[in-house]
Amino acid sequence: MHRLTVELGERSYPILIGQGLLSNSNNLAPYIRGRQVMVVSNETVAPLYLQKLMEGLDGCDLDQVDHIELPDGEAFKNLDTLNRIFDALLECRHNRSTTLIALGGGVVGDMTGFAAASYQRGVDFIQIPTTLLSQVDSSVGGKTGVNHPLGKNMIGAFYQPRLVLADMDTLSTLPAREFSAGVAEVIKYGLICDEGFFSWLEANIERLMARDRDALAYAVERSCQDKAAVVAADEREGGQRAILNFGHTFGHAIESVQGYGQWLHGEAVAAGMVMAAELSRLRGDITGELVERVRTLLVRANLPVRAPEGMTSGQFLTAMAVDKKVIDGRLRLVLLAGLGRALIVSDCSPEEIEKSLRLCGAA
């Protein structure tokens, strides 16, 4: 088992990475302060892993363990579903010293985290991400929240878990499309801040796609290290943390126009990273050769590298204007200054953006 610490002063927390972690109470007990636990999962993940987690919780000193299963999917990441968690907590009389455990992917993690941030103005929570995407991304960094019909992640909080458990065993049942979507974020870390990792990925992408346990554990650990380093330097996204959004502004536009749940988040980010790379090249910051390396690696990971069929550049620009990264009317974008080096700019013209979109197949 590997152990990382996300350094955030009094809000620091560990990430444990390994196999067979769920059912071992030694991994859980030290991080549960009260005597009540509410496990939040979804209807897909609960049948697979809830029993294992319950075994782990059996060995903890608890009075009450409840669980709730949410419907599965980004389409349910909203205030109504969030309220079902509050209903369950109040019906089961959970008090201020309860611990919420998120067992599932990013949607479950984001909603459980926001529920924990808001229930009685804040209770403890533990993240057990069961998808590759959530292991390398949404379980690290304290971003929690839900979507609004007019925008993704528009309602939420910065709230840190007490513990993240990344159990490689849970990746064995992950559908191929979702697995690839996770690899998109893994590749992102190489691009924005870790040149050596990008080269490792180019050399090892077949092993990773075959879900070789060692390759997986290495990729998750290095991704978490990269993200933890960025988050530790900028917990509340005042500045440099924004580089983690590489590909995301374009990606969110795809998700929002196609309707949440049509494209997976990681798929949208993959295409978005190619758009951001093309834009970087257009501005003269990186070479066409690097853009092709990005495209090639994403294709090898079975990820999309073009805009959705029929989506226009006008649709992109409209959707991007409500993205959170707009400050006082200026669109901030994360581009590349080289391999492993990200750059935040706010001086892109709509024409430049449109050109890069067309290079990626936008109508």
* Residues paired with 144 in a beta bridge: 157
172 is in an annotated binding site: yes
Catalytically annotated residue among 10, 121, 309, 351: 121
- Out of 58, 91, 195, 206, which residue is the one contacting a second copy (CB under 8 A)? 91
Cβ density class 268-296: b for 16+ within 10 Å, e for less: bbbbbbbbbbbbbbbbebbeeebbebbbe
C-alpha 346/C-alpha 326 separation (Å) is 9
2-6 vs 13-18, strand pairing mode: antiparallel
> Interface with a second copy by CB under 8 A: which range of 104-112, 204-212, 269-277, 326-334?
326-334
**CB closer to a second copy out of 289 and 328:** 328
Binders in 107-126 for a second copy, by CB under 8 A: 117-122
- Out of 1, 90, 233, 299, which residue is the one contacting a second copy (CB under 8 A)? 90
CA proximity to 174, closest of 67, 266, 248, 270:
266
Query: Three-class SS of residue 64?
Result: strand
* Residues paired with 102 in a beta bridge: 40, 127
Cβ(70)–Cβ(37) below 8 Å: no
Q: Is 282 in the site for a second copy (CB under 8 A)?
A: no
C-alpha 108/C-alpha 112 separation (Å) is 6
| Minimum distance, C-beta of residue 33 to a second copy, in the bound complex (Å) | 10
Q: Is 38 in the site for a second copy (CB under 8 A)?
A: no
- Out of 10, 61, 328, 351, which residue is the one contacting a second copy (CB under 8 A)? 328
C-alpha 77/C-alpha 75 separation (Å) is 6
Q: How many residues bind a second copy (CB under 8 A)?
A: 40
Q: Is 35 in the site for a second copy (CB under 8 A)?
A: yes
Task: Spell out where 222-353 has E strands.
Answer: 326-327, 330-331, 333-338, 341-345
* Count of positions (residues) in the chain: 363
94 noted as active-site residue:
no
- Out of 19, 43, 96, 196, which residue is the one contacting a second copy (CB under 8 A)? 96
Report residue 286 as tokens: 């990186």
Q: Is 322 in the site for a second copy (CB under 8 A)?
A: yes
Q: Is 71 in the site for a second copy (CB under 8 A)?
A: no
Hunting for tokens 């200054």 — which residue is that? Answer: 337
| Minimum distance, C-beta of residue 87 to a second copy, in the bound complex (Å) | 8
248 noted as active-site residue:
yes
121 noted as active-site residue:
yes
245 noted as active-site residue:
yes
Binders in 128-187 for a second copy, by CB under 8 A: 143-145, 148, 150-151, 153-158
Q: Is 95 in the site for a second copy (CB under 8 A)?
A: yes
152 is in an annotated binding site: yes
Q: Is 351 in the site for a second copy (CB under 8 A)?
A: no
Binding site for a second copy (CB under 8 A): 34-35, 63, 79, 83, 86-87, 90-91, 93, 95-97, 117-122, 143-145, 148, 150-151, 153-158, 236-237, 321-322, 324, 326-329
